[in-house]
Amino acid sequence: MIRPLADAGSFRDPSGRIYEAGGEIYRTVSRRAAEEYGYVQASGLLEKLMADGKVVGTETVDHSVLTDAGIETAMVLRHQRIPFISYPYEWSFSLLKSAALLHLDIHIEALKSGVTLSDASAFNVQFRGVEPVFIDVLSFKRYRDGEVWAGHRQFCEQFLNPLLLRALFGVPHNEWYRGRLEGIQTEDLADLLPWWRNLSFNVLSHVTLQARLQRAALAGNGHHVERAKSAKLSKRSFLAMLEQLRHWIESLKPAKSSATTWQNYAENTSYATEERNAKRRVISAFCQTALPCVLWDLGCNTGDYSEAALTAGVKHVIGFDYDQGALEGAVARAKAGTLDLLPLYQDGANPSPDQGWRGRERGSAQRRGGANALIALAFEHHLAIGRNVPLAQVVEWLVSLAPKGIIEFVPKSDPTVQKLLALREDIFDDYSAVTFEAALSKPARVIAAERVSSSGRTLYNYERR
């Protein structure tokens, strides 16, 4: 019997935990939660949301699949598997916005069916390509007349405030969010706002007044706390609040969002059309031979080569880049072409780590992995030259991510490397194709190498030893 493995991030929910066994994803349902889940099922809401693709496919299965392993549960659910679990601090502005809108759409539809949501965690949303899907079916519960939105503060801190940070100040949310997994505190955001921002009813009601209430609670002001706890909200007002918030979020756009250097990289004149076509040809041939289910595209830029990989037969591509403009370009490409491409924010020199409770609640990108292959084009020099990471360590790390792949080596003679060296001393005496090949040959076997540019850019097809 395969021993079920508990998901390290699902321990907070007393209604049930997530387990993986034999490649399948299961969720336990406690006795306390089973009645609520039965009510929600009977409403027909979940069936409709699943049919619309808004909620992950879920079915009830024989509970012995987990109870035989000694796990106590009243019910067992089986979920469709998501190709890659991502976190809000890895999403671009547009992905976070689409996740927020999905959450509100689901809540609005739920209220109309006599159901509400018990929380508003952004971690309850995942992506299939760039399409968001809600995964926590035990968050649904029976709506009771007069109840307020219990998850309002959580929604603001995990969805709204990160979006406002970018929309009002032009500051991406990613590093701040990664540093505080519960999101961006309303009190902190309120402190950043100039007074005139409070002339906006939306800002006043969802940021400033929320911050004042929280400060009153922390100061022990029982009067304000009791008023908040005893508040009642009609369903009509509840719906109006959600719909108004949805309209506001839908209108948000990132400030300071002019085209970035790397967003325009694929189109600039330093890389000729025939050289891009040569890359596409090599990537397509590799993917047609390797046929990976999940491919990682490191330094995915606007997703040109991700699209080539998908066209060649790859099922899912997870792209990684640190340039916000490039990521938004990749998201737009995925939407326009209905591509199974998920572009995520990632700094190669400081990738998402294991963190949260006991350092395991939110897994590192590599631990969540599952890549069958990778492509790393015009990537290694950003770490070796741009961030002073020894070339051998860059190569060893890349090979550790996937058993096979394509890595591009960019020589010093290339204009992009010269740009990195323009304002600094060249201290990289061992940066050469010879040292790169020697480093790659230790953990991997080089299947083929093809030069694709006049400057000496070379694509190496490797297979891990």
Q: pLDDT of 340-374, one tens digit each?
A: 999 999 999 999 999 999 999 999 999 998 899 99
Q: What is the mean pLDDT of residues 207-211?
A: 89
3-class state of residue 139 by DSSP: helix
Q: Is the pLDDT of residue 270 over 60?
A: no
Compute the Cα dihedral for 311, 312, 318, 324 and give only its sign: negative
> What's the rounded mean pLDDT across residues 235-254?
97
**What are the structure tokens assigned to 88, written together?**
């809000």
* Three-class secondary structure of residue 212 per DSSP: helix
Average pLDDT, the chain: 93
Task: Please provide residue 454's backbone torsions phi and psi, each rounded to the nearest 5 degrees.
Answer: -70, -25
Residues in CB range of 434: below 8 A, 6 or more apart: none
Angle at 34 between CA 117 and CA 154, to 5 degrees: 25
The reported pTM is: 0.94
Query: In this predicted structure, what is the pLDDT of residue 273?
Result: 86
Tokens 């040569």, located at residue: 278
262 alpha-carbon distance from chain centroid: 20
**Cα angle, residue 317 at apex, residues 312 and 323 outer, rounded to 5°:** 120
Q: Where are the domains of the chain?
A: 5-79, 88-251, 265-464
Residue 151 above 80 pLDDT?
yes
Amino acid, single-letter form, for residue 227: R
3-state SS, residue 192? helix
Helix (H, G, I), strand (E, B), or coil: what is residue 405? Answer: strand
Split at pLDDT 50, 70, 90, the class of 260 is low
Does CATH number 3.40.50.1980 belong to domain 265-464?
no
Q: How far is CA 149 from CA 76, 198, 282, 327, in A?
A: 28, 22, 53, 33
The C-alpha atoms of residue 278 and residue 454 are separated, in whole angstroms, by: 12
Task: Report the C-alpha gap between 180 and 352 in whole angstroms.
Answer: 13
DSSP state of 461: E
C-alpha to C-alpha distance for 300 and 151, rounded to whole angstroms: 35
